[in-house]
Structure formats: C-alpha cells, structure tokens
Amino acid sequence: MSNHIHLVISAKNHDTSDILRDFKKFTSKQIIKAITEHPGESRKHWMLHIFKQAGEQNSRNTTYQFWRQDNHPVELITSPFINQKLEYIHNNPVVAGIVDKAGEYLYSSARDYYNSKQCGLLELELL
C-alpha cells in the first residue's frame, strides 16, 4: 500500500512499541534522505512541503513528519483471530484495486503464504 503499512511483529526481549518507534524513525529518515538526494524526483518540493507542514504541527518534531503519531496495535492471541487479520492484511491491495490476487502484491507476505515458499522481499516466519 502506498499510504500505510500493516505489520505483524513480536519480540522476546523488547517492547513492540519500542520496535515500532525505531522502525518509524529509521524509515522516515531514509525516505526523506532518498527524496532529497534523488536528482530526478519531480515531486521532491511538494512532498517535502507536506512533510514539513505535518512536522510543524507536532512539537516533538524538528523538521519533517513522515509517519502519523498514532498506531492501531492489536494483540494476536487466538489462531482464528490471527488468520482473520492475515486475510485482511493480504487482501488489502486487492480491495484497493492494486492487484487481482493477494499473492501478486510485491510488498506483501501473501506471496510467501500463498506460494508455500520464501519468495517475498523479506525473510519471515510464517504464523
């Protein structure tokens, strides 16, 4: 999805909120860097302006804000609930009209689940 992300994460020795905070911090810096340093990015000024406006509305930011401050964490406890959430996440690009089948979306773990082998962009542990 181009405007949001769904993650299923777990950690043995870390708080998942810390992991999400660090993920957002790292990725936002890398994305802003990629935008500012890419010479052919025609939307550079427009995107940076929007991120700067969002950053100015948040006293905890110094310049830009890429990610929203809120999250919607849900604890996955039962197998049926886990399967429901995975189906929702995997079908998100289908509902948005980006692909016809969930396993076709390049940035989804659905590729791994529906093909029964590691073929996505990231190594993952199937639930």
pLDDT in tens, 57-104: 888 877 899 998 888 888 888 999 999 999 999 999 999 999 999 988
Number of folded domains that form the chain: 2
- From residue 126, alpha-carbon distances to 89, 109, 123 in Å are 14, 9, 10
Spatial separation of the C-alpha atoms in residues 84 and 38, rounded to whole Å: 39
The percentage of residues in the chain with a pLDDT greater than 70, rounded to a whole number, is: 93
Contact by Cβ (8 Å): 8, 85: yes
Closest alpha carbon to 47 in 92, 3, 108: 3
Q: Residue 25 half-sphere exposure, CB side, CA atoms within 13 Å? A: 9
Contact by Cβ (8 Å): 82, 76: yes
Residue 13 burial by Cβ neighbours in a 10 Å radius (0-12, 13-18, 19+): exposed
Q: pTM for the whole thing?
A: 0.75
Which residue, 47, 72, 97, sits at the end of a domain? 72
**62 and 93 belong to one structural domain:** no
What does the pLDDT read at residue 1? 53
Structural domain span for residue 29: 1-72
**67 and 15 belong to one structural domain:** yes
